[in-house]
A and B are shown apart, each in its own frame.
Chain A
Amino acid sequence: MMALIEANLPALQVVLPLIAAPICAILGRGGRSWAFACIVILATFAISVALFAQTYAGTIISYRMGGWEIPLGIEYRVDRLNAFVLLIISGSATLVLPYARRIVAAEIPAERQPLFYTAFLLCIAGLLGITITGDAFNIFVFLEISSLATYALVASGSWVNKRALTAAYNYLIMGTVGATFFVIGVGMLYMITGTLNLADLAVRIADHGDSSTLRMGFVFILIGIGLKLAMFPLHLWLPNAYAYAPSAVTAFLAATATKAAVYVMLRFMFTVFGFDYEFQADTLRMVVLPLAVIAMFAASIVAIFQDNLKRMLAYSSIAQIGYILLGLTFLTETGLTASIVHLFNHAVTKAALFMVAGCFILSAGTCSISKLGGIGRDMPWTTAAFVAGGFSLIGLPLTVGFISKWYLVLAALELGWWPVALMIMASSLLAVIYVWRVVEVAYLQPAPEGTVRKEAPLSMLIPTWIFVGLSIWFGVNAMLTSTAAGRAASALFDSSHILWKE
């Protein structure tokens, strides 16, 4: 039995939450379906850990769906990079679900809760599928599975605020346009190579050489995924979607959805097209680099002026995605390491912060910053979690944010890109401003008249603090994450260089 499970781990990783989703809907009661979802997610997480352990040394697991030969059938392929991303996704889900129980009960009517958890599981299955599959078209299908579930999840915030509906609608339009662009790009690649398997694509593209179709394909994929990962200026869907989605959903999405999209981008850029693809290198440096830098500043500045805490954090996410993209554009191993390690670091940090926002909403009934005066005294643990997460966002030492900044600046300095290094730091100073605005209100401002707020329940506080703890633990001892990210980067780097050698 164990051997059987072990042999099919990659399939189970996706299938488990996928099968669980309809069961969850059939179970019918909020509590029951929540408990069921929790168990399933725990198992999914265990599978991710197992996959991570198996690939940590460098083995690549290749799993053939339906037993078809590799370039013909769909391949699930796990290497260091996506094992790491799988771990992030399922790990975040494992922590968000226990947290969700109370806040979902407060935000969503009881009869809708089973469907909420169904959508949640579907979303997880989709995200895991995006990450694990080695087939370009399969990525699209899973992308849409997760996106459709996400639209529904975001829209379920409408029981609290009707703006969730328009947010979800806008997200849907932009997300679908993005996904369709992606399919067009994949179609172009298929036209050239006649294959959809990512590894096979890489070889055949290298054989085929550059052409205008290939360039079109690259651009379509870049824009398509750019829409999904909220690359500036394609981010317009994100702030409202994050701000009005139910708090648990926001925490989960912030930790995972954009991360999976970034992973797809990494995969296409460096496994399929390769470092040495000149058109890509030019595009990254001429277009993506400036956009990433603008995102770092523009989004942070907008974040400073937000009154809604969740919206503020959403804008901050756009800025952080700017950092991740910036790391890519360096096209060096250190730069890639920075991006990959920031995937993890930002997931942990942002999840914690959005969870804090959820705790505020549950206890204080609002996450409007101007109404959070003195909340540091009423909800000391929650607010302390915010402060710790905020430090990580700023990039202070002993938090994961620092590790990311370290690698990013190091990568910039290695290339001798002075201004970029200084800009990275300057934009993290903007983070000081928007984090500190909240800190000042929470601790130094008197509470509004007649408010009764009590500390968030333990079921929410513990997951929040686990995320905070992770962001501190991996800030103090970043050996595991930085080595994992470094190895994933060097694997991408090595494989990618062989391909384009004439």
Chain B
Amino acid sequence: MNNADLILLAIAIPALTPFLLAATGKWPNLRDTVSVIASIATFAAVLPLLLAVIDGARPAISLVEVMPGLVIGFEIEPLGMLFATVASGLWIPTALYSIGYMRGAHEKKQTRFAICFAIAIASAIGIAFSGNLFTLFIFYEVLTISTYPLVAHKETPEAKRGARTYLAILMTTSILFLLVALIWTWNIAGTTEFRAGGILDGRLDPAFAPFLLALFAFGIGKAALMPFHRWLPAAMVAPTPVSALLHAVAVVKAGVFTMLKVGTYIFGIGFLGKTGASDWLVWLAAASILIASIVALTKDDLKARLAYSTVSQLSYITLGMALAVQMGVIGGAMHIATHAMGKIALFMCAGAIYVAAHKTKISQLDGLGRKMPVTFACFTIAALSIIGLPPFAGAWSKWYLMVAAADANQLIIIGVLMVSSLLNVAYLLPIPARAFFLKPKDDETHGDAASSRIEETPLLCLLPICFAALGCIVLFFTIGGLYEYLLSIPIRPESLP
């Protein structure tokens, strides 16, 4: 089996799993087994590709020519490979976790949930492997549609409203801006292929570059750049595995990944740096980082706080691209991985708390740390990683971003990153602190008989959490390899005279 077939396989496995899931829907155990096996199989298909890409291979395959010159095709480069590895790798713990969660929380329509989940993963991998912007756009939209039923899963009026916001913002931005940007790119460049060094240099009038970049930056709504971030908190009505999927694995990462791709392979870092087209984006991203962090501070709902934290963290990656230096791309790409690891752990913890204690507010968590020590220990590790303290993975990506800011002579940005870290401390650390050190309130919350039965979450939930927390630490010590790997992202045009 050659690499090109593996690409198709990696997408086909999660894309075809829904049929199996639908067929086995009547037998929950069988269905969930299918789901887990599919996740492992997908990862198994992605791994050999990763090894090949590390060796310098660039597998490619084109499927069908939709319109003259417009091809649905895949081509793997280091950035996409990283995202695919993250998405497929984290699908395994998420799949396990969602079984535990969905059963623990007695959710309905678990088959539909599993089906949409698999499609979402398939489209995330499709995004990662896309050989051109057009293919990427297709999978981007598939991802939007397939996650809609997940967000609306509970079918309550509240869930419907949240899902509506989710869909409205993602659709509006993608159709109104991203598609126009795509067609514009096609119009001036005659292609939408991802090429090292970008395809716009020499074709696009530098005066228009900031506008095109703006269409892209706002068009990629999944990157949750302010002011188009509202969908993320709105989507918090979803079951927690969905939140994990949205915030760590698929949706938001697809957004920032697209942003990096566009910056690196459509505009080209060199072109951006030369024209200064992305200067405004640096400041917008910086503002987004700070404002979202401050908003997070005000939220008492655990998931909402995490959501705003995500908004802030995503802007790091956008920022990395906008700095228009190689180190920025590396830092951004690294942040995809490290933030994914940390955030998935945080969300799984939030879900675990809900399943075990039915608590969603931070103010209700007092003293819960003693009943669920493992969960909260993992929460702390993940929080520290997000904050960016060594020896946790998040430290490295922040480090490289700061290096990038220095490279780009944007010293204020270094300050912004530091302030942001402090804000992270302020909104993340109080949560485990309350849980561990404050006494449980005796009135209504813990005093009744039901609360005395609170104990650690189901094992199926707990294992993935531990795995993700462990990942935060492991990633810190193996970052050298990742850095080496990310250096292979081609920045300059391949064939320079």
Binding site for B on A (CB under 8 A): 391, 394-398, 403, 405-406, 409-410, 413-414, 421-422, 425-426, 428-429, 432, 436, 440, 443-444, 475-479, 482-483, 486
Residues from chain B with Cβ under 8 Å of A475 in the complex: 66
Say yes or no: A397 contacts B67, CB within 8 Å: no
A396 and B155 in contact, given A410-B183, A432-B167 (Cβ under 8 angstroms): no
Tell me whether B207 is interfacial, beta carbon within 8 Å: no
B46 contacts A by Cβ under 8 Å: no
Count of B interface residues, CB-CB < 8 Å: 29
Q: Within 8 Å CB of A397, what residues of B?
A: 134, 137-138, 141
Q: Tell me which residues from 137 to 177 in chain B have a Cβ below 8 Å from any Cβ of chain A.
A: 137-138, 141-142, 145, 149, 152, 155, 160, 164, 167-168, 171-172, 175-176
Report whether B68 and A482 are in contact in the complex, using a CB–CB cutoff of 8 Å: yes
B184 within 8 Å of A (CB atoms): yes
Closest to A483 in B: B68
> Which residue in A396, A413, A436, A444 is a CB contact (below 8 Å) of B141?
A396
* 8 tightest A-B CB contacts, nearest first: A397-B138, A409-B183, A425-B176, A413-B187, A482-B67, A444-B155, A478-B67, A432-B171
Output the least CB separation between A473 and chain B (Å): 11
Other-chain contact of B175, A414, A429, A440 (Cβ < 8 Å): A429
- Count A-B pairs with CB separation below 8 Å: 73
A sample of 8 cross-chain residue pairs with beta-carbon separation below 8 angstroms, ordered by A number, consists of: A405-B179, A410-B187, A413-B187, A432-B172, A477-B65, A478-B67, A482-B68, A486-B68
A217 to B342, CA, bound (A): 72
What residue of chain A has the Cβ atom nearest to residue B186's Cβ?
A: A410
Query: Separation in Å of the B109 CB from the closest CB of chain A?
Result: 10
Contacts of B168 in A (CB 8 A): 432
**Is residue B496 within 8 Å, beta carbon to beta carbon, of the partner chain?**
no
Known: A397-B137, A421-B180, A425-B180. A414 touches B187 (CB 8 A): yes
- Which residues on A sit within 8 Å (CB–CB) of B187? 410, 413-414
CB of A398 within 8 A of CB of B138, answer yes
With A444-B155, A479-B65 given, name 13 new contacts (CB 8 A): A391-B145, A395-B175, A397-B137, A397-B138, A406-B67, A421-B183, A426-B176, A428-B175, A440-B152, A444-B160, A478-B66, A478-B67, A486-B68
Question: B64 on the interface (CB 8 Å rule)?
Answer: yes
Q: Which residue of chain B lies nearest to A474 when distances are taken between CB atoms in the complex?
A: B66
Cα of A443 to Cα of B84 in the assembled complex, Å: 31
Find A477's partner among B66, B175, B176, B184 (CB 8 Å cutoff): B66
- In the complex, A413 Cα to B208 Cα: how many Å? 13
The docked-state distance in angstroms from the alpha carbon of A421 to that of B66 is 21
Find chain B residues with CB under 8 A from A422 CB. Answer: 176, 180
Nearest Cβ on chain B to A107's Cβ, whole angstroms: 34
A413→B185 CA distance, assembly (Å): 10
Asked whether, in the complex, the Cβ of B67 is within 8 Å of the Cβ of A479, the reply is: yes
Contacts of A482 on B, CB cut-off 8 Å? 67-68
Give the complex CA separation of A59 and B68 in angstroms. Answer: 23
Contacting pair B167 A436 (CB below 8 A) = yes
Is the pair B180, A429 in contact by a Cβ cutoff of 8 Å? no
Residues of B within 8 A of A421 (CB): 180, 183
| Cα-based distance from A479 to B65 in the complex (angstroms) | 7
Residues of B within 8 A of A (CB): 64-68, 72, 134, 137-138, 141-142, 145, 149, 152, 155, 160, 164, 167-168, 171-172, 175-176, 179-180, 183-184, 186-187
Nearest A-chain residue to B153, judged by Cβ: A444
Q: How far is the CB of B12 from chain A (nearest CB, A)?
A: 16
Q: Name A476's contact: one of B64, B152, B184 (CB within 8 Å).
A: B64
Q: Which residue of B lies closest to A444 (CB)?
A: B155
Closest chain A CB from B190 CB (angstroms): 11
**A contact residues around B134 at 8 Å (CB):** 397
Q: Which residues of A contact B65 (CB under 8 A)?
A: 477, 479
CB distance from A236 to the nearest CB of B (A): 30
Nearest to B168 among chain A residues (CB) is: A432
Most chain A CB neighbours (cut-off 10 Å) among B68, B137, B175? B175
**A476 contacts across to B, CB distance below 8 A:** 64, 66, 72
Residues of A within 8 A of B171 (CB): 394, 429, 432
Expressed in whole angstroms, the Cα–Cα distance for A435 and B99 within the complex equals 32
User: Which of B64, B134, B137, B179 gathers most chain A CB within 10 Å?
Assistant: B179
Q: Considering the complex, give the chain A residue whose CB is closest to the CB of B184.
A: A413
Q: Which residues of B contact A478 (CB under 8 A)?
A: 66-67
Q: Determine if A396 and B167 form an interchain contact, defined as CB atoms under 8 angstroms apart.
A: no
Least CB distance, A390 to chain B, in whole angstroms: 11
Report the Cα distance A443→B134, complex, angstroms. Answer: 30
CB distance from A378 to the nearest CB of B (A): 15
Shortest distance between the CB of A409 and any CB in chain B (Å): 5
Q: Which of A409, A426, A444, A477 contacts B152 (CB 8 A)?
A: A444
CA distance A406 to B141 in the complex (A): 15
Indicate which residue in A396, A432, A440, A479 contacts B68 across the interface (CB closer than 8 Å).
Answer: A479
Residues of A within 8 Å of B172, CB to CB, are 429, 432
Q: How far is the CB of B205 from chain A (nearest CB, A)?
A: 12
Report B145 CB to chain A, min CB distance, Å. Answer: 7
Residue of B nearest to A479 (CB): B65
Q: In whole angstroms, how far apart are the Cα atoms of A391 and B152 in the complex?
A: 18
Q: What is the bound-complex CA distance between A414 and B186, given in angstroms?
A: 11
Decide if B176 touches A440 in the complex (CB within 8 Å): no
Residue of A403, A429, A483, A486 touching B176 (CB-CB under 8 A): A429
Residue of B nearest to A414 (CB): B187
Contacts of A394 in B (CB 8 A): 171, 175
Q: Which residues of A contact B183 (CB under 8 A)?
A: 406, 409-410, 413, 421
Give the CA-CA distance A482 to B145 in the complex, in Å: 26
User: What residue of chain B has the Cβ atom nearest to residue A418's Cβ?
Assistant: B180
Of all chain B residues, which has the CB nearest A408? B183
Which of chain B's residues have a CB closer than 8 A to the CB of A406? 67, 183
Q: List, in ascending order, chain A residues with CB within 8 A of B152's CB.
A: 440, 444
Distance in Å from the Cβ of B74 to the closest Cβ of chain A?
Answer: 15
Cα-based distance from A294 to B489 in the complex (angstroms): 47
Tell me the complex Cα distance, A396–B176, Å: 12
Residue of A nearest to B72 (CB): A476
CB distance from B187 to the nearest CB of A (A): 5
Distance between A388 CB and nearest chain B CB, rounded to angstroms: 11
Chain B nearest CB from A442 CB (Å) reads: 12
A395 to B171: give the CA distance in the assembly, Å: 11
Q: How far is the CB of A437 from chain B (nearest CB, A)?
A: 10
Closest to B112 in A: A443
Which residues from chain A contact B180 at a C-beta distance below 8 Å?
409, 413, 421-422, 425
Q: Determine the residue in chain B with the shortest Cβ distance to A341.
A: B67
The smallest C-beta distance from A487 to any residue of chain B, in angstroms, reads 11
A335 to B128, CA, bound (A): 33
Q: B67 touches which one: A391, A403, A413, A426 (CB < 8 A)?
A: A403
Task: List chain B residues, Cβ under 8 A from A403.
Answer: 66-67
Q: Within the assembled complex, what's the spacing in Å between the Cα atoms of A436 and B149?
A: 12
Measured CB to CB, the nearest residue on chain A to B137 is: A397
Return the chain B residue nearest A475 by Cβ: B66
Complex: chain A residue closest to B140, CB-CB: A397
CB distance from A398 to the nearest CB of B (A): 6
B residues less than 8 Å from A398 (CB atoms): 138, 142
Determine how close the nearest CB of chain A comes to the CB of B55; give it in whole angstroms.
33
